[in-house]
Amino acid sequence: MNAGSHILRTIGLNKFFHDPVEFQALKNVNVSIEEGEFVSIVGASGSGKSTLLYTLSTLDTGYSGTILLDGEELGKMRPDDHARIRNEKIGFVFQFHYLLPEFTVLDNVALPALRLGKYSEEEIYSHAHEKLKLLGLDDQALKKSSKLSGGQQQRVAIARALINNPKIIFGDEPTGNLDSKNSETVFGIFKELKEKFNQTILIVTHDMGLASRTDRTITLKDGEVVSP
């Protein structure tokens, strides 16, 4: 794809939940994310922010409408194709880091690449070292991830999200579990990834101060986009 083209686009996206009663969580959502954009999704609790993020990232299915990711229509894919897309083209950073505590920092970062199997183990661990160095954590590589601070662990989670050189990084409240200093550090990393490496990033956040500093804000209200 050329710079400025759509990495992600939805057309008439609708999502219903049926248990315990039918509820429409997303209503005719039409959004597009361009390559190299850093975009935030905001809205009140229950507005559909996380539902939208999880649906766009293939973690939640069972929707109507169209989702195009890097030119591929997700709705026409089988579950194993979704797994391939998640491994090859998507990086995830959640509110909680979900690192494996008994593994080293380096092993945690390398795991998605080992699963993908695109490179040799030697190359993968070299790439993992590079990602940790980028985030200022190469000196922590051989520590157990459980020995790191919360802010360091979230930076490891970002390195892990980057290991397969994803087309887009999705973040679900990636600073929500951090104090203000570490929130600022993580946000600064995202900004640097966008500015230096043209990384496309889409995050859900309740922090309007951080959201206002992204390239663009998508506001949801009751499942509808009220500002694109």
Q: Is residue 70 part of a domain?
A: no
**By the 8 A CB rule, do 164 and 116 touch?**
yes
Q: Give me the residue label for tokens 């929707």.
A: 63
Token output for 41: 């999704």
Q: What is the pLDDT of residue 53?
A: 93
Helix (H) or strand (E) holding 158: helix 150-162
Helix (H) or strand (E) holding 38: strand 38-42
Dihedral pair phi/psi, residue 131, rounded to 5°: -65, -40
Number of domains in the chain: 1
Q: Is residue 78 part of a domain?
A: no
Look up the CATH number of the domain holding residue 208.
3.40.50.300
- pTM of the model as a whole: 0.90
Q: Is residue 96 part of a domain?
A: yes
**By the 8 A CB rule, do 203 and 41 touch?**
yes
Q: What is the pLDDT of residue 228?
A: 64
Q: Is residue 93 part of a domain?
A: yes
Which residues span the domain enclosing 211? 36-59+87-227
**By the 8 A CB rule, do 202 and 171 touch?**
yes
Q: What is the pLDDT along the chain (228 residues), one digit of tens a residue?
A: 444 478 999 999 999 988 788 889 999 999 999 999 999 999 988 898 999 999 999 888 889 999 999 988 988 888 888 888 888 899 999 877 789 989 999 999 999 899 888 889 999 999 999 999 988 899 999 999 999 988 899 889 999 999 999 999 999 988 888 888 888 988 999 999 999 999 999 999 988 999 999 999 999 999 999 986
Q: What is the pLDDT of residue 2?
A: 42
